Structure 1
Amino acid sequence: MTQQTSNQNNLHVAQMEYDNQKKTPGIAYALWFFLGGLGGHRFYAGDTGYALGMLFTLGGLGVWTLIDVFLIGKRIREINTQKRQQIMASYGVTIEGTTPHAS
């Protein structure tokens, strides 16, 4: 197997793993709509500290919940970017503008 074939296989496997782990903005918005005051969308995003704060204050009495509707999309994009970089680096795949990290 050549180096190029190995790299393509690594890229394919890494991309499949990323596709399985990435967060979906639509799900985050649905959780915000139905469980926003309880921090459901923040739990989904992995922001446990913020989610617990929202849970115990009922979304900052609704204020925090309303503000979050404008922040959800950006937060999910940030999470997905970080997750993609971590996964690609773990497979030794270089993404444009980044370098692989040693584990």
Structure 2
Amino acid sequence: MTVPMHHAGDQLVRQIQAQSAYDDVKKSAGVAFALWFFLGMLGAHRFYIGHKGVGIAMLLTFGGFGFWALIDAFFIPGAVREVNASKKRSIFAQFGMPVLTA
């Protein structure tokens, strides 16, 4: 069975719209690391990736007296990947599109 050309075009448009919407909200590991480096003791990187509760806890404890902030350096890449994957699934679902993984 062949897909009508207008249907394939509609899917392509939705794919592009979904990707554009995702690109507008995805988080950058580079920005997260910069925030961690300069304001990690205050939890700025946690606020940036959307972990507000943990960010508040870090703010109140001054980054777990520095230890928590230091340990976070190893978890930033995974946290950013996780947040971005969640955002992508949500946005693509809104457009009725499957998430294509590499």
Q: TM-score when scaled to structure 2?
A: 0.92
Q: Deviations over 1:4-37 (max 9, x none)?
A: 1111000001001111110000000000000000
Which contiguous aligned blocks of 4+ residues in structure 1 show a shift greater than 3 angstroms? none
Q: For 1:20-72, what per-residue CA distance to the aligned partner results, in whole angstroms no more than 9, with x for missing partners?
A: 11000000000000000000000001000000000000000001001100000
Q: Distance in 2 between matches of 1:78 and 1:20?
A: 17
Report whether the alignment pairs 1:84 with 2:73. no
1:11 aligned to which of 15, 21, 40: 15
Q: Which amino acid aligns with 1:38?
A: L
1:54-69 residue pairs with structure 2 within 5 A? 54-69=58-73
The equivalent of 2:33 in structure 1 is 29
Normalized per residue, the structure richer in helix is: 2
Identity of aligned residues (%): 44
| Aligned partner (choices 48, 71, 77) of residue 52 of structure 2 | 48
Distance 2:78 2:69 in 1: 15
**SS of 2:97's equivalent?**
coil
Unpaired stretches in structure 1, ≥5 consecutive residues: 98-103
Higher-Rg structure is 2
